[in-house]
Amino acid sequence: MSKPQFILLSFLVVLSGCSLIFSSNTSPVNESPTNQSIDISTKNVDPVQKIEPDWQKVNSNSIPQAASAFSLSLSIPKNWAVESVPAIEAINFYDPQAPGENNLDKSQNIFTLFSR
């Protein structure tokens, strides 16, 4: 390595070290348009929430042949139906009026287990 190459390499190493030192002393800037805080407390939330008339409550333990790993309770549109798909360990949420030849074609949402 020639002397000019060595000097250039040394300069680049020192320069990169300095940039690391100075960049670690700066704090990240909040880029949000406003600095408003959002209250996410649950002190005023009713634990038994009312469900709108167009929705139905579904519990995974009430779905025949649903994988035991599923433990959920959620609200879905009243016109949807739910079925278990044991071959792929899934729960299919589908719209019976949607176009398609079978329920998987009519699927609106499907929950699948990927590993145990």
The tens digit of pLDDT for each residue in 5-34 reads 767 777 666 666 656 665 555 555 555 555
- Mean pLDDT in the chain? 76
Sheet of 107-112, strand order: 81-85, 90-94, 107-112
Give per-residue pLDDT as tens, 66-94.
888 888 888 999 999 999 998 888 999 99
Predicted local distance difference test score (pLDDT) of residue 24 = 53
Q: What is the pTM of this model?
A: 0.53
Kindly report the CA angle at 15 between 9 and 16, in degrees rounded to 5?
90
Q: pLDDT exceeding 90 applies to what percent of the chain?
A: 28
Distance CA(51)–CA(95), nearest Å, equals 19
SS3 of 92, please? strand
